[in-house]
Amino acid sequence: MKQAEGRGAEARAAAMKQSEMESGAVTGFSSAIAAYGFSFNPAMFAAMAVTNALWMFIVIGFYATSLAVCWWFYARKGAEAPS
């Protein structure tokens, strides 16, 4: 978006349209991963030892924390370094 600022309103509008398309793709992909997780967790307890399943939940927790940090610093309104 910063590159489009110096090129006029038409370039800015094209950049906004491109960003909207890309954000839709990211939202769809993230939703698919989240939906898969709700069926994956019970199956994980059935297929693995409890200790291994709990380690997997820790890893998933790490990813959720990473997502929250990325949202806080980059995606929310008024973020420090918006993207």
Residue 20: pLDDT band (50, 70, 90) is confident
Q: With a threshold of 0.75, does the pTM exceed it?
A: no
Q: Which amino acid is at 14?
A: A
pLDDT score of 75 more than 80: yes
Q: Select the more confidently predicted residue: 64 or 43.
A: 64
Q: Rounded distance, CA 16 to CA 71, Å?
A: 19
Q: Other C-beta atoms within 10 Å of 79: how many?
A: 13
| Domain coordinates in residue numbering, the chain | 1-38, 48-83
| Residue entry with tokens 């939703």 | 31
